[in-house]
Amino acid sequence: MSNANLRAHLITFGCQMNEYDTHLVQSELASLGAEFVDTIQDANFVLVNTCAVRGKPVEKVKSLLGKLRKEKERRPLLVGMMGCVAQLEEGQEIAKKFDVDILLGPGAITQIAKALESHDKFWDLTFRDEVNTYVPPPPKGTLSAFVSIIRGCNHHCTYCIVPKTRGPEVSRHPDLILEEIERLKAAGVLEVTLLGQNVNSYGKDQPGYPSFAELLRMVGQIGIPRIKFTTSHPVNFTDDIIQAIAETPQVCRYIHLPVQSGSNRVLRRMGREYRREWYLDRVRAIKEALPDVVLSTDIIVGFPGETEADFEETLTLYDEVGYDHAYMFIYSPRPGTPSARHFQDLPREVKVARLQRLIEKQKEWSYRKNKRWEGRVVEVLVRGTAKEDGYAEGHDRGNHPVLVPAAQAPEPGLYQVEIKQATPHLLYGEVVGSTAPTTIPLTVM
Ligand code: SAH
Ligand code: SF4
Ligand code: F3S
């Protein structure tokens, strides 16, 4: 197919890393002259970026590819699959079954141009350095952007497919990261989220690279008003990182620190390298250095062998930390992972009932935590109109969703907002002023 006639439709499942990768591929396609369309019907090339972390997203990909195969029977259509499912044997079988034309693993996405030139099926599952050296142009029309700083994961959590799909840790050269952020700044971006499966390990795999703490300080110097990062691993969340956050005002006091379970027995079976006491000590150190910190976490309920007593330890840990927010998942056995191979899955009713109890706990805490912001003034990055009529939506430095009357925030940007009312899910406020990014000191010692 000639690229000039390419009408591409991109569909993304999964995490922020996948969103970033889709943007990367989209930039490459744009440079080839592709046009982007909003529906499958209007497209002659559909590219699906896939997620393998739980059973559900894989099922969704299969049903989408089924639909695309039918479409292919009716008209010329090129189908591509990239991302985490593509990398797995399971994914390659899916690709064969659904007649997928282009298959690119997460480390091979820069091969998209070559894939489109090929007159045959094109499969590439190798990790290529280009995926880390490519500097995509700033995404259009957004004030908030992602920047990949490290790919892959060196941990071996027994339930997790990610090390298999994304391979070992490979840090990106700091010059490229800084260059990308400079470009985002020049394009008017106000918030950057540094991405990786485990950002805290940044630099360890490459001699001479800065540590994550040092990188945070370097990125702070650029002067983008808001810097966030995700995901952190409790084992690698060292004191120097906490100190760098405390001393770099651009870095938001928001930390996502997945705990997975509060029971040491379960943590051990999960292959998480820390124990409850270690985790709680990290939280203590964080709270001490960053008094207003907003904390969120990931929790898996119903890991094989999790007893009622184990689960209750997760509940008590939740109370001890007092999370602002949590992402909660029912354990999903992933083919080929150690926990799926060696352990018996718990009955679904048990898992669902525990999830319900945990959700109750989360709502209670989120409400309590959100209430604390009532009457305070926070900086909100307004993105645009909200689903709720008459409101504009945005988020504050702690990642809370915030709604303000649309008339008070006619343009996207940073506003000072007084929080009037909190719910378990979001904050309602009134604009008390708009802020130029300069309210934050732009040069730090
Ligand atoms: N590297 C990140 C993100 C991993 S995937 C991290 O370690 O935090 C995001 C979350 O999905 C994980 O934190 C975990 O809570 C959840 N998850 C991973 N594998 C899972 C599985 N097999 N079943 C249920 N949840 C899972
Ligand atoms: Fe998966 Fe664990 Fe790595 Fe996170 S740290 S990506 S949960 S193996
Ligand atoms: Fe999913 Fe891969 Fe991200 S498995 S969560 S898309 S790293």
- My answer on whether 326 and 193 are in the same domain is yes
Strand partners, 421: 428
Which of 127, 158, 175 is the C-terminal boundary of a domain? 127
Instruction: Count CA within 13 A, CB hemisphere, residue 215.
Output: 31
Q: Closest ligand to 155 CA?
A: 2
Atom from ligand 1 closest to the CA of residue 197: 1
Long-range contacts formed by 95-101: CB under 8 A, 24+ apart: 95/123, 98/62, 98/65, 98/66, 98/68, 98/69, 99/69, 99/72, 100/65
- What pLDDT score was predicted for residue 2? 54
Q: Cα dihedral angle (215, 217, 222, 227), rounded to 10 degrees?
A: 80
Residue 105 is assigned to a structural domain of this protein: yes
What's the rounded Cα separation, in Å, for the pair 264 and 177?
37
Assign residue 241 the CATH number of its domain: 3.80.30.20
Residue 216 is assigned to a structural domain of this protein: yes
- My answer on whether 169 and 217 are in the same domain is yes
Atom from ligand 3 closest to the CA of residue 53: 4
To which residue do tokens 């630099």 refer? 203
For residues 318 and 326, the answer to whether their CB atoms sit within 8 Å is yes
- My answer on whether 217 and 266 are in the same domain is yes
Assign residue 100 the CATH number of its domain: 3.40.50.2300
Is residue 107 helix, strand or coil? coil
What's the rounded Cα separation, in Å, for the pair 21 and 86?
14
- My answer on whether 363 and 392 are in the same domain is no
Instruction: List, as one string, the DSSP characters of 333-350.
Output: PPTTSHHHHHSPPPPHHH
- What pLDDT score was predicted for residue 338? 95
Q: Is 24 in the pocket of ligand 3 (CB under 6 A)?
A: no
Residue 339 is assigned to a structural domain of this protein: yes
CA distances from 29 to 107, 127, 177 (A): 17, 20, 22
Within 6 Å (CB) of ligand 1, which residues are found?
53-54, 153, 159-160, 162, 197-198, 231, 233, 258, 260, 298, 300, 329, 331-332, 334
Full domain range(s) for residue 388? 377-437
Amino acid at residue number 301: V
- My answer on whether 89 and 230 are in the same domain is no
Q: Is 160 in the pocket of ligand 2 (CB under 6 A)?
A: yes
- What pLDDT score was predicted for residue 390? 96
Cβ neighbour number for residue 263 with a 10 Å cutoff: 23
State in Å: Cα 307 to ligand 1 middle.
20
- My answer on whether 273 and 144 are in the same domain is yes
| Ligand 2, atom 5: closest residue by C-alpha | 155
| Ligand 1, atom 19: closest residue by C-alpha | 160
- What pLDDT score was predicted for residue 441? 36
252 is in an annotated binding site: no
- My answer on whether 86 and 218 are in the same domain is no
Residue 445 is assigned to a structural domain of this protein: no
Atom from ligand 3 closest to the CA of residue 161: 4
Q: Closest ligand to 302 CA?
A: 1
What's the rounded Cα separation, in Å, for the pair 14 and 161?
13
- What pLDDT score was predicted for residue 434? 77
> Which residue out of 53, 301, 303, 325 has the highest number of ligand 1 atoms within 8 Å of its CB and is therefore the one to mutate?
53
For residues 145 and 184, the answer to whether their CB atoms sit within 8 Å is yes
What's the rounded Cα separation, in Å, for the pair 355 and 156?
24
- My answer on whether 335 and 425 are in the same domain is no
- What pLDDT score was predicted for residue 444? 31
Assign residue 411 the CATH number of its domain: 2.40.50.140
Atom from ligand 1 closest to the CA of residue 232: 8
DSSP strand pairing (401-405 vs 391-396): antiparallel
State in Å: Cα 184 to ligand 1 middle.
29
What's the rounded Cα separation, in Å, for the pair 50 and 13?
5
- My answer on whether 117 and 148 are in the same domain is no
State in Å: Cα 51 to ligand 3 middle.
5
Number of domains in the chain: 3
pTM: 0.95
- My answer on whether 101 and 244 are in the same domain is no
Which of 127, 149, 175 is the C-terminal boundary of a domain? 127
For residues 132 and 119, the answer to whether their CB atoms sit within 8 Å is no
Q: Is 17 in the pocket of ligand 3 (CB under 6 A)?
A: yes
- My answer on whether 210 and 333 are in the same domain is yes
The closest alpha carbon to 155, from 392, 355, 338, 363, belongs to 338
- My answer on whether 199 and 334 are in the same domain is yes
For residues 428 and 396, the answer to whether their CB atoms sit within 8 Å is no
Q: Which residues have CB under 8 Å from 222's CB, separation 6+?
A: 178, 181, 182, 185
Amino acid at residue number 422: A
pLDDT tens for each residue of the chain, 445 residues long: 556 689 999 999 999 999 999 999 999 999 999 999 999 999 999 999 999 999 999 999 999 999 999 999 999 999 999 999 999 999 999 999 999 999 999 999 999 999 999 989 999 999 999 999 999 999 998 999 999 999 999 999 999 999 999 999 999 999 999 999 999 999 999 999 999 999 999 999 999 999 999 999 999 999 999 999 999 999 999 999 999 999 999 999 999 999 999 999 999 999 999 999 999 999 999 999 999 999 999 999 999 999 999 999 999 999 999 999 999 999 999 999 999 988 889 999 999 999 999 999 999 999 999 999 999 999 999 999 999 999 999 999 999 999 999 999 999 999 999 999 999 999 999 999 876 543 343 333 2
Residue 298 is assigned to a structural domain of this protein: yes
